Amino acid sequence: MNVDLSESWAIGGVPIPTRLVLAPMAGVSVQAFRRQGRRYGAGLVCSEMVSVAGIAHRNERTLGYLRVASDEHPLAIQIFGSEPGAMAEAARMVEAAGADIVDINFGCPVKKVTKTGAGASLLDDPDQAARIVSAVAEATPLPVSVKMRRGTANGSRDCLVVGPRLVEAGAACLTLHPRSARQMYTGTADHSLTAELVELVDVPVIASGDVTSRARAQAVLATTGASAVMVGRAAQGNPWALAEIMGLATAEPTREEIVAELLLFMRETVRELGTERATGFLKKFYGWYLGRGRFPKPFKQELVTLPTLAEVETRLLAAAPGARDVLDRLEAELPEVDEVLLDSLPISLYGGG
């Protein structure tokens, strides 16, 4: 059975135009990545997870994650923390920044997050998890979604206990990545758990994990009854994967298209992060864009060694001269962007006067 991925659905009162969601990924989901995802068919895009401790301490880099561009909507901003009051305050900040949905991270398996009592560790404490969701839902009129794993231990079914508790506490949507925190990204995602969760709750469920093709996306939706699929690693440096899932593209991109999208991503990232931060941040993307047999491995390695982004751009255009025309077209098609500026947010949310 084929499921129409272009069909709309909703989280709370927020309409989502397609059944494809671009995952929140730390160190990846910057504004440039999200805007690209929207261009290639994602109905909902998500920020990387934002630390409520960083917000409380008015960390400049953390607050930078709250910049929202006008062409990102609908957008979920994801927050993580372990204390309900701090999470509620962060949710108010997310609302002021212009997000459409507040997403809570109960899925991150990384030790530096779980050791603070946040992320996937909250699946071991359903009462605290419910208190956090309740506090966030009471703090903002925005719909609240929660992203979680199956549990912390291999074989865990805790998500089926915790999930309904979170809905009772006020969650309007659940995303399930049915791997354990211990698995990280090894093994396979057990979407039979996703199907069970769908039967237990009366809110939309997003299926995350191992969605890498249109056929796989349709199979997961058809067998689980989930409202949407979430794509993460498959879209890193590869927006064409999103287009393929949506049925918008069947052919592999040309070398010129690949280089043009990478150059656009580089320029947009510089606009967002500044040249100094962007230079280091972008290095991992060279391999993601140019890999998959698209360019020789030595070429990717050469780009990483170049000291400036200007030199990277020159080298890329030398390798695919026709990319310049494609890039010009892409830039001409980009909409004018209005951003929520940080100094326009309520000062009380920074902890100031």
Active site amino acids: 108
Encoded tokens for 345: 């947010």
Query: 118-122 long-range CB contacts below 8 Å, 24 or more apart?
Result: 118/80, 118/81, 118/82, 119/80, 119/181, 120/148, 120/149, 120/151, 120/152, 120/181, 121/82, 121/152, 121/181, 122/82
Cβ atoms of residues 206 and 173 within 8 Å: yes
* CB-based burial, 221-241: b 16+ in 10 Å, e otherwise: beebebbbbbbbbbbbbbbbb
Pairwise CA distance, residues 81 & 139, whole Å: 15
**CB-based burial, 134-171: b 16+ in 10 Å, e otherwise:** bbbbebbebbbbbbbbbbbeeebebbbebbbebbebbb
Amino acid at 248: L
Q: What are residue 168's phi and psi, to 5 degrees?
A: -60, -35
In the chain, what's the furthest Cα-to-Cα distance? 58
* Number of other CB atoms surrounding residue 132 within 10 Å: 30
How far apart, in whole angstroms, are the C-alpha atoms of residue 33 and residue 6? 21
Chain position carrying tokens 């769908």: 198
